[in-house]
């Protein structure tokens, strides 16, 4: 019996090359996202009442290698409650303001901590890998009792 040599098919070489290419693209975007910094500059009230009539302004700044990033899309998403506008754009100094509206406390939804995740959606090149930060707001009962 003769031993047959096993050849690697062209389709496996192409598949491997594509996997390697996309992995390198992902790695590049991940490293590129690390060069951006999204930081919370100020929060108007870190312990607001759990009442939908309250507004909390959160100011963030986006920098790239320490320099302001103008015109970047900023997206904010809370774990509870809502945003007045979920998307905004940074100004020429890299600042953007998002406004959070707490949910109204009820017997079924008591006041609790809410995390607002803020991410820069303009820093990706190939894959959607965003620089992000978050801020935790400690919602207080409507009645003012802690």
CATH of the domain at 33: 2.60.40.10
* 146 lies in some domain: no
The domain total for the chain is 1
Provide the residue range defining the domain that includes 15. 2-138
pLDDT digits (tens, 9 = 90+) for 76-97: 999 999 999 999 999 999 999 9
Cβ of 15: how many Cβ atoms within 10 Å?
11
Mean pLDDT across the chain: 91
* 29 lies in some domain: yes
* 64 lies in some domain: yes
> Does pLDDT of 61 surpass 50?
yes
* 100 lies in some domain: yes
> Does pLDDT of 146 surpass 70?
no
* 105 lies in some domain: yes
Which spans in the chain are helix H? Answer: 10-33
pLDDT digits (tens, 9 = 90+) for 62-77: 999 999 999 999 999 9
> Does pLDDT of 137 surpass 90?
yes
Contacts 24+ apart (CB under 8 A), 43-47: 43/135, 43/137, 45/137, 46/135, 46/137, 46/138, 47/137, 47/138, 47/139, 47/140
- pLDDT confidence bin for 117, thresholds 50/70/90: very high
Q: Is 107 helix (H, G, I), strand (E, B) or coil?
A: coil
Q: Are 39 and 60 in contact (CB under 8 A)?
A: yes
* 145 lies in some domain: no
* 143 lies in some domain: no
Strands 82-83 and 95-101: antiparallel
* 144 lies in some domain: no
pLDDT at residue number 102? 95
Of 97, 103, 121, which Cα lies nearest the Cα of 42? 97
């Amino acid at each position: 019996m003769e031993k047959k040599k096993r050849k690697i098919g062209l389709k496996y070489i192409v598949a491997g090359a594509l996997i390697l290419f996309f992995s390198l693209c992902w790695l590049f975007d991940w490293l590129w996202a690390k060069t951006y910094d999204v930081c919370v500059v100020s929060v108007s009230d870190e312990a607001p009442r759990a009442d939908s009539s309250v507004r909390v302004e959160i100011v963030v700044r986006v920098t790239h290698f320490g320099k302001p990033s103008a015109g970047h899309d900023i997206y904010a998403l809370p774990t509870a409650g809502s945003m007045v506008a979920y998307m905004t754009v940074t100004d020429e100094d890299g600042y953007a303001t998002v406004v959070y509206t707490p949910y109204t406390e009820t017997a079924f939804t008591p006041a609790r901590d809410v995390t607002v995740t803020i991410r820069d959606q303009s820093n990706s090149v190939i894959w959607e890998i965003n620089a992000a930060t978050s801020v935790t707001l400690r919602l207080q009962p409507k009645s003012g009792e802690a």
